[in-house]
Amino acid sequence: MLGGGVTKIGEHWSKSLRDLFVEAAFKALEDSNLELKNIEAIYIGNMSSGELQGQEHLGSLMATWLGIPGVAAVKVEAACASGGAVFHQAYLAVASGLYDCVLVGGVEKMTDAVVHDVTAALVMADDAEYTAFTGASFVGLNAIVYRYYMEKYHVKQEDIALFSVHDHKYASNNPYAQYPFQVTLEKVLSSPLVADPIRLLECSPIGDGAAALILCSEKFARENGIRPGVEVAASALATDTISLMDREDLTTLTATVKAARKAYKMARIEPQDVDVMEVHDAFTILGVIHLEDLGFAEKGSGWKLVKEGEIEKDAKIPTNLSGGLKARGHPVGATGVYQVYEIYQQLTGIAPNQVEKAEIGLAQSVGGVGGTVVVNILQRVR
């Protein structure tokens, strides 16, 4: 990996989908000391441009607006995991030997939607005919998981809701975070109910943003006299049933377990080797569940890691130091790329909330209620 760039996440009423992508792409090029002519392919992660902007064909669109029509360019979609999935595809493209230098980015513009409303667009991540059809919203589905987890493991909401407090604490120091301020547990628990038991301040927000990274082959780096500081150690993608109703256990995302197992094996590491990570906490309960499914806590006890300070910057497994989905923000198709960018910053020593001597970092990207999970692992080049 040669470099990356991101836009601040927020309500960008003066910037369109293409503006955001181009801004992040040029930042990534500058950060990598490369020029447009070096880019052979563009991979774009996005979930809802058709529904929200009335725009498909983002490959050709972004190639055009970057000024390099001609290069290969496609969109990859895997719902809310589109960012992680597009990184996986870009990695495969370079690993195949057909492309030596690719731009991989994610973008989503959720404010200023012209076709659908955002809630209707997001629930397309679940089964349109069996779930969305009933009128279930995405937060409603996560509320089922939340309630089930509390009942099964006898955990109180205040222990789960702490994940939001954690995220906001670190977002307050992140210049590209959507909500860079701290919140108290009292404030989270007294915020409006969205879908019982989920409170407003337990939900990741709606926002606009784009993130971009440059990946190259060893050959490209050698020929251009570049010594990359970070390399991709593993990239793994797994699916699960698209709907909760088909799952044996609502409190574990088996796609996380499968993707993580594959990624750890590919990177030849164990969970305890991970120095810093970003998890896909679309809702507080998911943050807790991810800590368990990724191998850092027993089932039913992920919340303890949060409560006991084990996911803080200088603790056992520093997590979501960007502010996570909750406070950095969650522009859906871009989120997985933001996560990898955060890990890239950590491994190159330039993160806003820097972990000392971080060597290995992990980013987990989730689509739907775990219908797709991507685990990407980066490591510092020694």
Active site residues: 80, 330
Q: Give 301-330 as a DSSP string.
A: -HHHHHHTTTTSTTSSS-B-TT-IIIII--
Asked if 40 touches a second copy (CB under 8 A), the answer is: no
Distance in angstroms (rounded) separating the CA atoms of residues 156 and 349 = 37
Please identify which residue in 25, 34, 85, 325 interacts with a second copy, judged by CB under 8 A: 85
* Residue 315 Cβ vs a second copy, minimum distance, rounded to whole Å: 33
CB proximity list for 293: less than 8 A, separation 6 or greater:
252, 253, 256, 257, 260
273 — phi, psi (to 5°)? -80, -15
How does DSSP classify residue 147? Answer: H
Asked if 255 touches a second copy (CB under 8 A), the answer is: yes
Give whichever of 48 and 251 is closer to a second copy, judged by the CB atom: 48
Angle at alpha carbon of residue 67, lines to 111 and 175, rounded to 5°: 45
Q: Give 229-260 as a DSSP string.
A: SEEEEEEEEEE--SSGGG-S-TT--HHHHHHH
Asked if 95 touches a second copy (CB under 8 A), the answer is: yes
Please identify which residue in 113, 118, 124, 185 interacts with a second copy, judged by CB under 8 A: 124
Asked if 36 touches a second copy (CB under 8 A), the answer is: no
The sign of the torsion formed by the CA atoms of 351, 354, 360, 363 equals: negative
Please identify which residue in 241, 300, 301, 313 interacts with a second copy, judged by CB under 8 A: 241
Asked if 243 touches a second copy (CB under 8 A), the answer is: yes
Residues 11-30 that bind a second copy (CB under 8 A): 16
Give whichever of 88 and 290 is closer to a second copy, judged by the CB atom: 88
Stretch that binds a second copy, among 30-38, 123-131, 142-150, 282-290 (CB under 8 A): 123-131
Give whichever of 122 and 311 is closer to a second copy, judged by the CB atom: 122
Find out whether 149 and 247 touch, Cβ atoms under 8 Å: no
Stretch that binds a second copy, among 125-133, 218-226, 287-295, 345-353 (CB under 8 A): 125-133
Work out the number of other CB atoms within 10 angstroms of the CB of residue 133. Answer: 11
Question: C-alpha distances in angstroms, 122 versus 102, 181, 349, 356, 367?
Answer: 28, 26, 35, 37, 10
Single-letter residue type at 371: G
Asked if 75 touches a second copy (CB under 8 A), the answer is: yes
Asked if 128 touches a second copy (CB under 8 A), the answer is: yes
* Both structure tokens of 328: 């950095």
Asked if 196 touches a second copy (CB under 8 A), the answer is: no
Find out whether 277 and 313 touch, Cβ atoms under 8 Å: no
* Residue 36 Cβ vs a second copy, minimum distance, rounded to whole Å: 13
* Residue 252 Cβ vs a second copy, minimum distance, rounded to whole Å: 14
Asked if 121 touches a second copy (CB under 8 A), the answer is: yes
- If residue 280 lies in a helix (H) or strand (E), which one and from where to where? none
Decide the pairing of beta strands 101-108 and 41-45. parallel
Residues 289-348 that bind a second copy (CB under 8 A): none
Residues 360-379 that bind a second copy (CB under 8 A): 367-368, 371-372
Work out the number of other CB atoms within 10 angstroms of the CB of residue 190. Answer: 11
Please identify which residue in 15, 109, 166, 258 interacts with a second copy, judged by CB under 8 A: 258
- Binding string, residues 219-238; x marks residues near a second copy by CB under 8 A: ----------------xxxx
Please identify which residue in 13, 35, 96, 192 interacts with a second copy, judged by CB under 8 A: 96
Residues of this chain that bind a second copy (CB under 8 A):
16, 41, 47-48, 50-51, 53-61, 63-64, 69-79, 85, 88-89, 91-93, 95-99, 115-116, 120-121, 124-129, 132, 235-243, 246, 254-255, 258, 367-368, 371-372
